[in-house]
Amino acid sequence: MTQAAEHFLPSTAVTPTAENRAVFRKAIWRLLPLLFLGYVINTIDRANVAFAKLRMAEDIGLSDAAYGIGAGIFYLGYILFEIPSNIYMQRVGARATLARIMVLWGLVTMATALVTTPGQLIVARFCLGVAEAGFFPGIILYLTYWFPPTLRARITAVLLMAAMTAGMVSGPLAGWIMSHFDGWLGLKDWQALFVLEGIPAILLGLLAWYWLADRPADARWLTPKEKQLLATALAANKTDNLPPARLRDVLREPRLYVAGLVFFCIYSGSNTVSYWMPTLIRGFGLEDLKAIGLISSLPYACAIVGMYLLARSSDRHLERRWHVGLTMLVSAGCFLLLGPAQGHLILSVTLMSIGAAAALSAVALFWTIPPALLTPSSAAIGIAVVSCIGGLAGVISQAMVGAIKSATGSLYLAFDFIAAALVFGALILLIGIRAHHLQERKH
């Protein structure tokens, strides 16, 4: 484990002593596995409706347009409660906040098995968004309490590899559950999927309450000397001594909206991949659930490799803009070629895998940018604002994709729109945010 953790630690760490490196390794191995697992379960529970749709559509009369609304309405609930959740996290601490979120979304996921109409599914998805609100931006904020900027791109990338890991396992897992648990406890295959995949979130939420510490000073598993070493390494950010900024003051930062718009474009791509990939793969001519699940894992496997390599390169060169922008353009190019490639299974799967992997990798790279645009005192609110703006893509893009699919019977035109959004976002990033804007701000 020591050697693995070394990959997180740059040779230019704040104070490159053996003691500092050891305490950062200790913090990484204490916190990151639980956060990683939590994000794996979060991604599975958020997107399992994409696989349930393949069977539940007929049972509850679910059209593609209604599914698009159901997939997107999740983000409306998430957005409405995201900023309050991050503000509340500053008051009650990360441990209580993250534990509460995990338990609630697990309960809602299990309850989704009870829906019988498209309207009930839409309500359940909205409630899931409310339950999950603040989870991801809360983790991003939490990492700033423990790690300096020189480590964040790689740590964030590894955290977001959880989404890729979830993508790799969720398809085969969903196919296996729905193939083997049809009729379990009188439940249909898609109902069993929601029940069985909701339980782990509840258990992990209970574990988080006992395992996490809000800040280094609260960690019983650190010695006084180790706490002091962390405090010294993080002192330049002054995260512990500044009062939280006011919402109205944070909202006056114009580059916050530029970052939010860029994330909106990135999330339009990565989110569409998550919710429509099984349907897209079935459009290639495949019907077997296990085969669809296995093929849907390929983009995530590619993304794990690409995400970490890009993050290491970004940290090594301390460059964010071009890493994000070029990754978005690669994704856009692949999505644009999906239409001309239809009818060619291997080419279609290859383009889908590379395009999806690039879109997913761009998410991890992007989240190194907002903390650098914000002061430590405004980070909690600012990160949540950026996440909210981007989250609108979940509402708008999924409704748009569902409407296009219902109107044309094809997903290719929808992916053309997503590609255009990615190109637009890359241009906004490179024009609207300059390199000197990304110098870590301290006041």
Q: What is the pLDDT of residues 175-215, one digit of tens each?
A: 889 888 988 888 999 999 999 999 999 999 999 998 988 88
Radius of gyration of the CA atoms of the chain, in A: 21
Residue 169 included in any domain: yes
* pLDDT recorded at residue 12: 40
Q: What are phi and psi of 339, to 5 degrees?
A: -60, -55
Q: Which residue has the higher pLDDT, 311 or 340?
A: 340
Residue 211 · residue 33 · CB < 8 Å? no
Residue 14 included in any domain: no
How many Cα neighbours within 13 Å face the side chain of 243?
3
Per-residue pLDDT tens over the stretch 137-151 = 788 878 888 887 667
The percent of residues above 90 in pLDDT, for the chain, comes to: 20
The percent of residues above 70 in pLDDT, for the chain, comes to: 88
Query: What is this structure's pTM?
Result: 0.69
Q: Average pLDDT of 427-431?
A: 90
- Indicate which CATH number applies to the domain containing 294: 1.20.1250.20
Tell me what the pLDDT averaged over the chain comes to: 81
Residue 228 included in any domain: yes
The number of domains in the chain is: 1
Q: Average pLDDT of 407-430?
A: 88
Could you tell me which of 277, 194, 269, 242 has the C-alpha nearest to residue 374? 242
Residue 72 · residue 272 · CB < 8 Å? no
* Most confident by average pLDDT, 84-93, 137-146, 201-210, 392-401: 201-210
Per-residue pLDDT tens over the stretch 293-319 = 778 777 777 777 887 788 778 777 778
Residue 317 included in any domain: yes
Calpha distance 112→115 (Å, rounded): 6
Q: Average pLDDT of 61-75?
A: 83
Q: Which structural domain range is residue 77 located in?
A: 19-438
Residue 4 included in any domain: no
10: left (phi over 0), alpha (psi -120 to 50) or beta: beta
Calpha distance 371→391 (Å, rounded): 18
Residue 6 included in any domain: no
Residue 239: pLDDT band with limits 50, 70, 90: very low
Residue 240 included in any domain: yes
* Range in 137-151, 274-288, 383-397 with the lowest mean pLDDT: 274-288
Calpha distance 263→268 (Å, rounded): 8
* pLDDT recorded at residue 256: 84
From residue 46, how far is each of 33, 127, 236, 293, 304 by CA, in Å? 20, 12, 37, 16, 19
Residue 3 included in any domain: no
Q: What is the DSSP string of 405-427?
A: HHHHS-SHHHHHHHHHHHHHHHH
Q: Does position 1 have pLDDT exceeding 80, yes or no? A: no
User: Which two tokens mark 308?
Assistant: 């970490």
Q: Average pLDDT of 261-277?
A: 83
Q: Does position 421 have pLDDT exceeding 50, yes or no? A: yes
Residue 240: pLDDT band with limits 50, 70, 90: very low
Q: Does position 7 have pLDDT exceeding 50, yes or no? A: no
